Structure 1
Amino acid sequence: MDIMTTEQLFRALTPDPDDRKPLYLQVGDRLRDLIAGGTLRLGDAIPPERELAEMTGVSRVTIRKALGQLVEAGILNQKPGAGTFVAGRIEQPLSILLGFSEDMRARGYEPGSIWLDKCVARANSDEAMALGIAPGNRVIRLKRIRTANGQPMAIEAAVISQSYLPAPDAVGDSFYDALKTRDLLPVRALQRIRARLATSRERDLLRLDSPDAVLEIERRSFLADGRVLEVTFSSYRADLYDFVVELRHAGEP
């Protein structure tokens, strides 16, 4: 947040002296409005209590109470030693096949990646079975942390046959963009989702408190002719993601 944006934030949060509503509720309501309107977005840091109190003219106790009610509501989260951040949750429909980057941009977030591995390897037995290829065939392995506005959202490990993607460096920020240039976009996918506790490594990479949960997702994507294109194993932050599916009665057309 730059200086001008911070000044605008302070002005927006300053309570109205003619409003009879308690000061902490005024500050809290104004913060809610800024988040709902997109001025403050997922992962944005909220200035420290001292700065908010000095610039808005209210006490730190008032600021602490205003932030506390939003933390309880799940709108903000507080990390010891790091500060207070816009939390929010992302509803991901299971009926739509989208790449992470495309999905985040559609929501107004800036997608990003922190690469952990990008290499050519020989398929192990699990990878070969999932992709429908012979064990030992060459595959591309792509493992990275996916971010939105700089905040870690998921750990993603994708595997694809080298016959589809010759070199790992062909993938930049978007895996699906790299596939699109080769006319290889999948038309359908199967996903398996289960919840579990994050490992210590996942907690470090996703900046999770201990203990915390992740949603483990295995996805196989298919081309129009039925061939498996890629298999992705992901660990999504359970505190930020809801996966939503629409159900219809069996007799409804």
Structure 2
Amino acid sequence: MRELLAAREGDATPLYLQLARNLRQHLASGAIDAGSALPSERDLSAVTGMSRVTVRKAIEQLIAEGVLVRKQGSGTFVARRIDAAGSVLSSFSDDARARGEDPGTVWISKAYGEPTEEEAAALGVAAGTRVARLGRVRLSGGEPLAIEHAVVPAHHLPRLEAVDTSLYAALAAAGVRPATGTQRLRACLATPTEAGILSARANAAVLRIERVTRTAAGEAVEFTRSVYRGDRYDFVSELSGLPGGGTTAD
């Protein structure tokens, strides 16, 4: 490990950036499993011969890049890439639990109001229809991963206080179950506010997602706009061949 993390003679790059680069390559090789703890600053300092200040700056750089994550009171860990099924209608909370992590929510807003023209069109409701507005930060294992803003026709959610961690659980309790949906993803850069909320670096890559879900009868349930950390998420979809076994290669 000492050889992998050693500084290069004649390299004018600041030492902490050299160490960050070498650590990044070391982790990419699979030397430390995703989710495992990084050696302590003291151990890395002893191995590399660099000061703890240099080691700390290198670690902070990799945390800003999303390569590492720091968990309060536990240490620094190699970040896991999350494979999210892009073709399956599921909730953030259920996905987190399926990974063995506890979902969490920090509420930004929770109130009734009227939809904008775009929201009314997406939900197929008339202007002036009463809707529930739900803004929140989604956490998994205590780490902020997404910001969600959902708009739901109020008759689907007669009691806002019923919405705790999972919107879908509150809808199910009210007898409403999303059965189908349409989802659109775009790659963008985080705004300064989004980066701050998600503990990401300035101008970090994010995935902007718009989702409209419907009941089996075709009634719109929600119109949700989300921002997911691009350094943590891969959205994966199953593909099938064309009828008759053809391809699009030609």
207 and 167 in structure 1: CA distance in 2 versus 1, 3 angstrom threshold:
same
Q: Does 1:214 align with 2:202?
A: no
**How many Å apart are 1:130 and its aligned residue?**
1.0
Residue 77 of structure 1 corresponds to: 68
Q: Does 1:92 align with 2:92?
A: no
Residue 59 of structure 1 corresponds to: 47
The alignment's TM-score, normalised by the length of structure 2, stands at: 0.74
Runs of 4+ in 1 over 2 A off after TM superposition: 22-25, 32-36, 45-48, 58-64, 74-79, 83-86
Residue 8 of structure 2 corresponds to: none
78 and 146 in structure 1: CA distance in 2 versus 1, 3 angstrom threshold:
closer
Q: Deviations over 1:45-99 (max 9, x none)?
A: 746412x359xxx5354896xx98xx6xx884278xxx84432211111121110
**How many Å apart are 1:183 and its aligned residue?**
2.3
Answer yes or no: is the 8 Å Cα contact 2:66–2:232 preserved in 1.
no
**How many Å apart are 1:211 and its aligned residue?**
1.9
Q: Give the partner amino acid of 2:234.
A: D
1:204 to 175, 178, 196: 196
1:139 to 131, 152, 157: 131
How many percent identity over aligned positions? 40
Answer yes or no: is the 8 Å Cα contact 1:120–1:167 preserved in 2.
no
CA distance in 1, matches of 2:103, 2:155: 28
**How many Å apart are 1:35 and its aligned residue?**
3.8
232 and 250 in structure 1: CA distance in 2 versus 1, 3 angstrom threshold:
same
- Counterparts of residues 22-61 of structure 1 (less than 5 Å): 22=1, 35-36=33-34, 40=36, 46=38, 48-50=40-42, 52=43, 58-61=46-49
Answer yes or no: is the 8 Å Cα contact 2:210–2:223 preserved in 1.
yes
Q: Name stretches of at least 5 consecutive residues in structure 2 with no aligned partner.
A: 5-22, 246-250
Q: Does 1:151 align with 2:162?
A: no
139 and 77 in structure 1: CA distance in 2 versus 1, 3 angstrom threshold:
same
**How many Å apart are 1:237 and its aligned residue?**
0.6
Answer yes or no: is the 8 Å Cα contact 1:187–1:223 preserved in 2.
yes
Q: Deviations over 1:101-138 (max 9, x none)?
A: 00010011111111100111112211111111111111
Answer yes or no: is the 8 Å Cα contact 2:66–2:200 preserved in 1.
no
Answer yes or no: is the 8 Å Cα contact 2:133–2:149 preserved in 1.
yes
Q: Deviations over 1:138-191 (max 9, x none)?
A: 100111010111111010011101111112211001111111112211111100
The alignment's TM-score, normalised by the length of structure 1, stands at: 0.73
Residue 236 of structure 2 corresponds to: 244
Residue 104 of structure 2 corresponds to: 112
Q: Name stretches of at least 5 consecutive residues in structure 1 with no aligned partner.
A: 1-21
